[in-house]
Amino acid sequence: MSTVRTRFAPSPTGMLHVGGARTALFSYLEARRHGGQFILRVEDTDRERSTDAAVQAILDGMAWLGLEHDEGPFFQTQRFDRYRQVAHELLAAGKAYHCWMSKDELEAMRADQEARGLKPRYNGYWRDRKETPPAGVTPVIRFKNPLHGDVVVDDRVRGRVTFDNAELDDLIIWRSDDSPTYNFGVVVDDADMAITDVIRGDDHLNNTPRQMNIYAALGKPIPRFAHLPMILGPDGAKLSKRHGAVNVLGYREDGFLPAALLNYLVRLGWSHGDQEIFTMAEMIELFSADEVNHSASRFDVEKLRWLNQHYLKTLEPALIAPELRWHLARIGLDPHSGPAAEDLLIALRERVHTLAELAERARVWFDPLTQYDDTAVAKHLTAAARVPLQAAHTALAGVSAWSALAVHDALNAAAQSLGLGLGKVAQPLRVAITGTQVSPSIDHTVYLAGQREALKRIDAALAKLPA
């Protein structure tokens, strides 16, 4: 069997959204699983709506996710000569024809058809007509779709879907502005690039019979198709900005890890028994387009958040640290002036779901402590806190090699010698260090402050105590 070749072919009219990302992921996995190639192609034939910024956004999104392509990116705008050549071959072979019907005429015809409850479509007026073309109209080129018979799509996810050629019309393959249309461009590209598996959103299922007819006219082998169900918003409506981030890079800004987003996406419409957690290696080994579900699924941020925390907790801190620094810098903290990103990760990863939250919670160890929570102070910075705080100060001042473990030992010893539970020492100390009642375990909370700053904050707290 020839090698598997898949492609991801977004049109650069916006950002890389989660639906596109999943399509890309599935295509990527299918190629990797078979040791084949994954190709990136930018479908920018719509010169009106395509932008360079969108191209860059898609490239950046793919790079962030780590979905590396083996070939490309190819740009359709750079292949116009090829499309033109193929269109003219079709013309010469009598498999396509010029159509001089104006846009206005077309529109009037469609309006009339709709008024009569019919499916709006081209009536084939110029298909076999030999009359003199009207002056002042630049013709388009239409494909001669077969008039009769069925087209059967053997879809890898949908199964066997049959279309009646009588339902199809002669689609335009070449515009009057001298550019190719989508349905024509994809076929030429997929054929030229020897794509074996077309994996795309199911909004393309209805285009498939037309495309198959073009393959046939071209004498090219027809690839296998897999049409993926779409991803909806939490409310079941089409995913939009209203639902939060739709742009993949927006998830980065919200503090998600690529591993989490990828893992979440792979489980949308696909599963492997009861398994929820998949490494990239496992996805590649286990994924198959043949096992994809038929129905649309909703995007559930809560589950994504759970997965993200899972990866925060299990991935090597050193691996995540660079991404955390990116977030720290993003909220105005200098990643190199405060605690190490790795230490912050260890102390906070069980308490947050995203790196954005983590960075925000890390703020207390970067900025000077000026804000104290009133309730926390009232409850814990009482006269009774004097002795424990002083003991903590003494114990911490005596630590020679500053580490979370050393802090832990020092504090426990101090509490024990006072005959107090650790809570009696930890809570006042927690308020002293953070100004609040909530923080990571007391040893990490103190450790992250650094020895000098910790002692300084205890002194400040001691000064606030009632006499």
Whole-number minimum distance, CB 323 to RNA, in Å?
Answer: 19
Q: Which lies closer to RNA via its Cβ, residue 28 or residue 163?
A: 163
**Whose CA is closest to 163, among 177, 145, 181?**
145
Whole-number minimum distance, CB 467 to RNA, in Å?
Answer: 26
- DSSP for 385-438, please give it: GHHHHHHHHHHHHT-SS--HHHHHHHHHHHHHHHT--HHHHHHHHHHHHHSSS-
Contact 221, 195 (CB under 8 A): no
User: Residue 20: enclosing H or E segment and its boundaries?
Assistant: helix 18-33
Contacts of residue 370, defined as CB under 8 A and 6 or more positions apart, other chains included, come to none
Q: Strand, helix or coil at 132? A: coil
Residue 1, amino acid: M
Distance CA 229, CA 216 (A): 26
Q: Which lies closer to RNA via its Cβ, residue 36 or residue 412?
A: 412
- DSSP for 242-269, please give it: GGS--BHHHHHHTT--HHHHHHHHHTSS
Whole-number minimum distance, CB 206 to RNA, in Å?
Answer: 4
Whole-number minimum distance, CB 441 to RNA, in Å?
Answer: 4
Q: Which lies closer to RNA via its Cβ, residue 46 or residue 253?
A: 46
Whole-number minimum distance, CB 201 to RNA, in Å?
Answer: 8
Whole-number minimum distance, CB 181 to RNA, in Å?
Answer: 4
Distance CA 460, CA 457 (A): 5
356 backbone dihedrals φ, ψ, rounded to 5°: -65, -45
254 backbone dihedrals φ, ψ, rounded to 5°: -80, -5
Q: How many CB atoms lie within 10 A of CB 58?
A: 26
Q: Is 464 a catalytic residue?
A: no
Q: Which lies closer to RNA via its Cβ, residue 36 or residue 406?
A: 406
DSSP summary character for residue 377: H
Pairing outcome for strands 150-155 and 159-164: antiparallel
The torsion region of residue 338 among left (phi > 0), alpha (psi -120 to 50) and beta comes to: beta
Whole-number minimum distance, CB 447 to RNA, in Å?
Answer: 11
The torsion region of residue 219 among left (phi > 0), alpha (psi -120 to 50) and beta comes to: left
Query: Catalytic one among 241, 379, 424, 464?
Result: 241
First-to-final CA distance of the chain: 85
| Rg of the chain on CA atoms, in Å | 31
Q: Which lies closer to RNA via its Cβ, residue 293 or residue 403?
A: 293
Torsion of CA 180, 186, 189, 191, to 10 degrees: -120
Distance CA 272, CA 261 (A): 17
Q: Which lies closer to RNA via its Cβ, residue 229 or residue 338?
A: 229
CA atoms within 13 A on the CB side of 390: 9
Whole-number minimum distance, CB 444 to RNA, in Å?
Answer: 8
Contacts of residue 324, defined as CB under 8 A and 6 or more positions apart, other chains included, come to 335, 341, 344, 345, 355, 358, 359
DSSP summary character for residue 19: H
Q: Which lies closer to RNA via its Cβ, residue 293 or residue 394?
A: 293
Whole-number minimum distance, CB 315 to RNA, in Å?
Answer: 14
Q: Which lies closer to RNA via its Cβ, residue 258 or residue 440?
A: 440
Angle at 373 between CA 367 and CA 376, to 5 degrees: 125
Q: Which lies closer to RNA via its Cβ, residue 223 or residue 440?
A: 440
Residues carrying an active site annotation: 241
